Structure 1
């Protein structure tokens, strides 16, 4: 049963030792969102913001996290969605579904982090007797920009 149906976002540099119930601590510096479990058990819930974990949406007033928060390793095993600062209780999962999601998550991380990081290619020296080459907007090194877009979107 969910006790906290509304969360107040608080942007912080670092997460405090004592978590205030009903507060969603967002640390952009550490790329993480932390809160006290919405069921009221008081356990700390950490949702890292990475391309393979959670994504945060902030519209200037409210926060949404995707995907849902499944606290399968906590005694409460609560499961909920955080959308526009609201907490929506989600159905419980059986052990088979939890294990399947953990395998999918592990495979997604392995695939993403196995990709070699593409660095921008070094520019050739420009001599003064030739005009510099022009590039069309949007035709920069697509590998690096595509990874950055995936990271932030």
Structure 2
């Protein structure tokens, strides 16, 4: 059960040692958001802001964090979404669904970072499209797949 139904966004350079409940500390410098679990258990929850983890979006004076926060490693096992500073309780997940998501997450990270490494290795490389035009080599992601489909 969720105790904190609203969360205040605070943009900080460094996350403080002592966290206030009901506050989402956001450090863009370190690419992370940290808060005390919204169920009220008091546990610290860290959400890395990376291409393969969470995304933070701002809407005027409010923030949203996506995907949901699933605290599967905490005793409370709380699950919620932060949307426009509101904390919305989400349904519980089975152990099987949690394990499936962990596998999907690991595969997504492996794919993303291997594509980044390949892109770094071939930076500036050119390839030839089916009509003979030179196009830059693109590492990965949906845009890269679209460009390869269009020009490959």
Pairwise TM-score range, normalised by the shorter structure: 0.7 to 0.9
Q: Determine helix, strand or coil for the equivalent of 2:87.
A: strand
Match of 2:21 in 1: 21
What is the Cα deviation at residue 59 of structure 1?
Answer: 1.8
Higher CA-based Rg: 1
Maintained 8 Å contact 2:123/2:137: no
What is the Cα deviation at residue 142 of structure 1?
Answer: 7.2
Deviations 1:10-57 (A, max 9, x none): 000000010000000000000000000000000000000111100010
Q: Determine helix, strand or coil for the equivalent of 1:75.
A: coil
CA distance in 1, matches of 2:24, 2:57: 13
Match of 2:90 in 1: 90
| TM-score, scaled to structure 2 | 0.79
Match of 1:102 in 2: 102
Matches of residues 38-117 of structure 1 in structure 2 within 5 Å?
A: 38-115=38-115, 116-117=118-119
Query: Please, which of 114, 121, 127 is the counterpart of residue 124 of structure 2?
Result: 121
Number of corresponding residues = 131
Moved over 6 A (4+): none
- Of Structure 1 and Structure 2, the greater strand share is in 2
Structure 1 residues without counterparts, runs of 5 or longer: 123-139
Q: Does 1:143 align with 2:138?
A: yes
Backbone CA RMSD of aligned residues: 2.1
CA distance in 2, matches of 1:91, 1:121: 46
CA distance in 1, matches of 2:27, 2:4: 21
Q: Determine helix, strand or coil for the equivalent of 2:52.
A: coil
Match of 1:129 in 2: none
| TM-score, scaled to structure 1 | 0.79
Structure 2 residues without counterparts, runs of 5 or longer: 126-134, 145-152
Q: Determine helix, strand or coil for the equivalent of 1:66.
A: strand
Relative to structure 1, the CA distance from residue 8 to residue 143 in structure 2 (aligned partners, 3 Å threshold; closer, same or farther) is same
- Of Structure 1 and Structure 2, the greater helix share is in 2
Q: Determine helix, strand or coil for the equivalent of 2:103.
A: helix
What is the Cα deviation at residue 60 of structure 1?
Answer: 2.6
